[in-house]
Amino acid sequence: QVQLVESGGGTVQAGGSLRLSCATSGITGNTYSLGWLRQAPGKEREGVAGIDTTGTAMYADSVKGRFTISRDDAKKTIYLQMNSLKPEDTAMYYCAARLDVARVARYLISAAYYPYWGQGTQVTVSS
């Protein structure tokens, strides 16, 4: 059973930084994709960033240059470093996993690509 646990959310002023972590368990192979997606109140869930074990990474246009996704293969953990945060980044951030690598890079920021999800961690950016 794949389980994902997010941490690192909180409240920060605009222009600040946060680092999210996603610890996984139950991923036994060495081929997988992990991603960060977010959902703001009243909006659809959207992809933020994703990475797979080939090293392919993908970012939403809205976060390029501000957010960085990284992974620790030994721990099967991913991180999302978020800099220059904006009020519009306020959302519940979810970690998601798929036991496969992405055939198309943009799949990594597609909510439909991922069958396994964590419970989320709230990020609030005040103006």
Share of the chain above pLDDT 70, in %: 100
* pLDDT higher than 90, residue 29: no
For 23, 51, 62, 72, 112, the CA distances from 46, given in Å and listed in that order, are: 21, 15, 11, 24, 10
d(CA 104, CA 78): 20
Over the stretch 48-60, which tens digit does the pLDDT of each residue have?
999 999 999 999 9
Higher pLDDT: 30 or 65? It is 65
Q: Decide if pLDDT at 104 tops 90.
A: yes
- Rounded to whole angstroms, the Cα distance separating 38 from 96 reads 10
Contact 76, 22 (CB under 8 A): no
pLDDT digits (tens, 9 = 90+) for 15-27: 999 999 999 999 9
